[in-house]
C-alpha cells in the first residue's frame, strides 16, 4: 500500500534534482514505482510522464523569470520530439518488461558516460566557445537539421522510458548545438512540456497511467522544481554536468540490477 505523504516527499526531492538537471524526474520515479510499489515498467513510465508534465510546467515558469529559455530552439526540437514521444509510448506498451528495464538502465549509463567524456575533453567549454543566441541557432541550417533529427530520438526515449526527454535533449543542446548547460537545462524543461504530454496521450489510451499516484508525485515535484530552478543558477556548468551524470549512472545501475 502506498503512503500519500511519502509520495509527495519523494516528489519534492525529485523535483529539485529534475529541475536542476532537466532529467524530468523519470529516472527516479520509474525505479521507485517498480522497486517499491510493484508497478510494471510500462505502467510506471506512463505514470512518471504524467507527473513530469507538472514538473516541466513549474520549472519553465521559474526559468522564464530568469530569462534562461531559448523558446525558438525549444519549439524547434519539440516539432519532432513530440511525435517521437508518442511513438516511443506505443512501442513501450508492446515491449517485454525485462527488456524495457534493461534498455532503460543501459541507456542512462551511456548518456552519463558521454557527458563525462565530453566534459573531460573540454574544461569549462563555455568560457572558450562563443555562445550563440536563440535567433542565431534557429537560423543555422546545420543546427536545424541536427536539432530536428536528434530531437526526434530525444522524444522517442522520453515516450519509451518515461524520462521526460531531458537526458537526451540536454546533451543535444549542450554538445551538438553548443548551448551552455544552464541554458540547455532550462530550455529542455520547456520542450519537455510538449514531449511528456505527447507520450502521456499514448499511455492514457492504453490505460497505463495511475493518475492518483502521478498527482501525488506532482504535488511534491512542483514545489521542488522551484527550489531546483533557483539552486541551479548558483552552480557552475562543470559541477552541474557532474551532478547530472552521477544521477543518471546511479539510476541506470539500479534498473540493470533489477532486471538482469
Cβ-contact 177, 232 below 8 angstroms: no
Q: Residue 258: count other Cβ atoms within 10 Å of its Cβ.
A: 16
Cβ-contact 119, 176 below 8 angstroms: no
pLDDT at position 8, please?
A: 93
**pLDDT by 10s per residue, the chain, length 260:** 568 889 999 999 888 877 777 666 777 788 788 878 888 878 888 898 899 898 889 889 988 998 989 998 888 888 888 888 888 878 877 777 677 668 777 877 887 787 677 666 655 444 445 667 888 887 777 767 877 787 787 778 777 766 656 667 777 777 777 788 788 888 988 988 988 888 888 889 888 899 999 999 999 989 988 888 778 777 776 777 787 778 778 777 876 876 67
pLDDT at position 132, please?
A: 76
- Single pTM value for the model: 0.75
For the chain, what is the domain count?
Answer: 1
pLDDT at position 210, please?
A: 93
pLDDT at position 220, please?
A: 93
Residues 6+ apart with CB under 8 A from 33: 39, 43, 44, 47, 48, 213
The secondary structure of residue 174, as a DSSP letter, is: I
For residue 9, give its domain range. Answer: 4-259
Distance between CA atoms of residues 69 and 71, nearest Å: 6
Amino acid at each position: 500500500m502506498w503512503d500519500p505523504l511519502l509520495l509527495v516527499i519523494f516528489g519534492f526531492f525529485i523535483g529539485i534534482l529534475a529541475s536542476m538537471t532537466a532529467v524530468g524526474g523519470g529516472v527516479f520515479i520509474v525505479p521507485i514505482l517498480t522497486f517499491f510499489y510493484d508497478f510494471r515498467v510500462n505502467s510506471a513510465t506512463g505514470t512518471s510522464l504524467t507527473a513530469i508534465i507538472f514538473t516541466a510546467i513549474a520549472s519553465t515558469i521559474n526559468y522564464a523569470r530568469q530569462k534562461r529559455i531559448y523558446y525558438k530552439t525549444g519549439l524547434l526540437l519539440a516539432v519532432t520530439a513530440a511525435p517521437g514521444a508518442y511513438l516511443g509510448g506505443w512501442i513501450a506498451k508492446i515491449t517485454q518488461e525485462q527488456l524495457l528495464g534493461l534498455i532503460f538502465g543501459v541507456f542512462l549509463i551511456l548518456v552519463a558516460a558521454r557527458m563525462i567524456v565530453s566534459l573531460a575533453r573540454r574544461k569549462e567549454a563555455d568560457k572558450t566557445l562563443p555562445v550563440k543566441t536563440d535567433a542565431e541557432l534557429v537560423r543555422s541550417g546545420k543546427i536545424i537539421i541536427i536539432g530536428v533529427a536528434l530531437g526526434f530520438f530525444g522524444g522517442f526515449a522520453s515516450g519509451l522510458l518515461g524520462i521526460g526527454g531531458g537526458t537526451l535533449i540536454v546533451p543535444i543542446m549542450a554538445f551538438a548545438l553548443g548551448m551552455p548547460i544552464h541554458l540547455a537545462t532550462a530550455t529542455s524543461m520547456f520542450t519537455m512540456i510538449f514531449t511528456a504530454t505527447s507520450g502521456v496521450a499514448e499511455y492514457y489510451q492504453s490505460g497505463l497511467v495511475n493518475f492518483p499516484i502521478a498527482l501525488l508525485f506532482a504535488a511534491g515535484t512542483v514545489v521542488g522544481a522551484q527550489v531546483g530552478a533557483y539552486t541551479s543558477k548558483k552552480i557552475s556548468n562543470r559541477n552541474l554536468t557532474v551532478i547530472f551524470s552521477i544521477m543518471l549512472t546511479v539510476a541506470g545501475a539500479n534498473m540493470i540490477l533489477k532486471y538482469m
